[in-house]
Structure 1
Amino acid sequence: MKKVITILGILLFLCTTSAKAQEYLQIVSLETDKGATAVFTSAGIADSKKGVETDAIKSLIYTLFFQGVEGVNDGKPLVSKPNEAYTNTFFNNQARYTPYVVSVEESGKSTKVGGRFQGTMRITLRLRQLINDVRKNTHYDAMLAETPKTRFPKPTIIVVPYKKKGESFESKLENDSDYRIAVGAVQKGLESCDIKTIDLQGRIDAMNRRSQYEDNAGAAESNDKQLLMSSGADVYVTVDLMKDYTAQGARVALVMKAYETASGTIWASEDGWTNRFQTTQTEVLCSYAVKDNLSPFLEQIIKNFSQPARVVLQISISGNSTGSLQDACCANGERIVDFIQNWLDRNAHEGDYHIQGIMDESAIFDYVMIPREDKNGFKMTSSKFAKDLNDQLKAQDVSGTVRIDGNTILLMLDL
């Protein structure tokens, strides 16, 4: 009798081991990657047609975790260091994959193979959130830290709350604690990525101390524009906060947009809802939103910051001028318009610019590509570029004044 029990025990152990070591088909491919979400095809096999769908999802997750899928993480497995207590929850009855599955549809009708149903599913995953979850639970970040990273120029950023017309940054921070928390969470996230930030409240306090703020109620827009332009930030980021509280839990979305301070050109945009959590603490929820969305958002900013900027150069003559732009010459005898074009040939990025027209009183270069960096290796801006040109003209006894309006350089000459 003991012998029979022992044999049954061994068989039971083998069956249990076999269940734990269940192998999925792992026939998976990436169709499209949309950033936040991605669409995969994945094959599944089960005793019922409904079971095929579940098996295909688990097969996709298993392949992403332990084998790797071409087009995701350079084809490498997402799980670099085993954490079975975490990964097993995706394959047992806890079904941890559920919040990451957006939709599932049949790629073709399931067929019966050897008494079991087999089919292929098109599965849309919240891939970015899944990867972030894996990173937090399997020491993925530690592996990334060992990989040398390419160095890119980094902008200085100021984070501000989204505001409606007539509102000011100052009143928004004073009257809405949730927005204070959201702005702080994004700023903290940027600083953790080694990005230099300008503190908004600090700038407001400094301007108030210098009495630079206008007192009338209609000055909110001009005050805030003045604050941004004098902040020293290359980029300003607006943060809007949306909240959704239900009996199933709370979630938030941070809508982040990045603009080049000098021109107001939008450089990046990112948003997305967090998963639901059993907390209504805005600080906690915002920290999850930052973890989910900040990395791709910052990548967009740095990519644009690293590119040559495109500006418009408009040249005019003052009302006191006695000569025309077409005929006036520099101290060296060269026509001013020729001097400017020759200077642009040497100093525009790859000599890339276009003249829309030259007249007696004005000239328009409808685009000039300015270099990525100045002579000191810092980010080139439209104001630096304009100053360099104006300095060269002054050296030729041509006086003028420069004004920057967004991405347009306005150069007025006294001839």
Structure 2
Amino acid sequence: MKTTIALTPEHLEKTVTIGAWLSNKRSSGKIAFLQLRDGTGFIQGVVVKNDVSEETFQLAKNLTQESSMYITGKVVEDTRSAFGYELQVSNIELIHEAVDYPITPKEHGTEFLMDHRHLWLRSKKQHAVMKIRNEIIRSTYQFFNDGGYVKIDPPILTGSSAEGTTELFHTKYFDEEAYLSQSGQLYMEAAAMAFGKVFSFGPTFRAEKSKTRRHLIEFWMIEPEMAFVDHEESLEIQEQYVSFIAESVLENCKLELDVLERDTSSLEKIKAPFPRISYDDAIKLLKEKGFDDIEWGDDFGAPHETAIADNFDKPVFITNYPAEIKAFYMKPAPGRSDVVLCADLIAPEGYGEIIGGSQRIDDLELMKERYEQHDLNDPAYKWYLELRQYGSVPHSGFGLGLERTVAWLSGVDHVRETIPFPRLLNRLYP
């Protein structure tokens, strides 16, 4: 019976055949231990000399790392392994012999591993990170589909920018200027006016010359937009969503979290509601902590966000930032024209901002003022203004950065390990 490693528990005490690669091996005289992977998981295959043909045993002893095969054996319980099962091998059919596989079971430098990212993905830890990423994506679709949201795909090539054009990739669109999208938000607002509650999930691009562990040039965003939803309701949806995906990872990625040696006690605390601190109070807190150079009106950097988050044991919302440092479309706070109805959700353990969101301006005249202030009178923005002209309603939305969220929940240090093929300031290969 042909099966996969992930499904072997369903075939306990039965003989199965698995298409697999050899990730590692060791042998001791009359027994060979094969560490096998097939994309769905990892399992140990045990080859005992007295239980197989001489040809099969010699083949097992001579297998090279990353050689591919069909391997047949009986599934048995193995309480010593994290997976809980192993394969008592009876036959091996070699498909392809790999020679001089470059990533050996020893320490390699980061640049070497990044140069071989197409192969590094096969390793146990990288496999675990990608499985956690997949679970976050799966549970994201579940959360929004169950909540009555409609999936909408905004364009990647755009004629306008959501937050200014200084950090966008410019390209020629025949005889026009175009940009790679930095956010689908403006288009999602249009979609929300048609469908009520919508979400997008797709790649975004920032031409930001940053080399920090939190930044990528190309990354993926989940961007919900909701008509008839104010800022307070949006915050509640955000904390429910983050709690949901964290719970899903804890429940469905136990093995992967174990492989990554992730301390799950911190993840178990991720339950709504989340604490909140205003920008005003965050400035006071930072000054108390010795950040004498921070002043009201300054944006927060990574050290500031970490210092704020360290005061809480779960994600924290920083609310009501100054209007001057936020995007043109954010609605002013009632009674305060100097701050806007927005929030950044800061993850604990130094992982920084994972969500940015706000209530959007729904008043036509105020949006016209913002257009003047930000010099947005280009025809490319005409359609966005019309959303306030024809049936405008209160609406809010947010964007969650997938890679930062994967890094946080899986506990890896750098976002370059949270996307299959990272695009960094100095890296476009492989």
TM-score (norm 1): 0.23
Q: Which has the higher helix share?
A: 1
Q: Which has the larger radius of gyration?
A: 1
TM-score (norm 2): 0.22
Instruction: Answer 1 or 2: higher relative contact order, Cα 8 Å, separation at least 6.
Output: 2
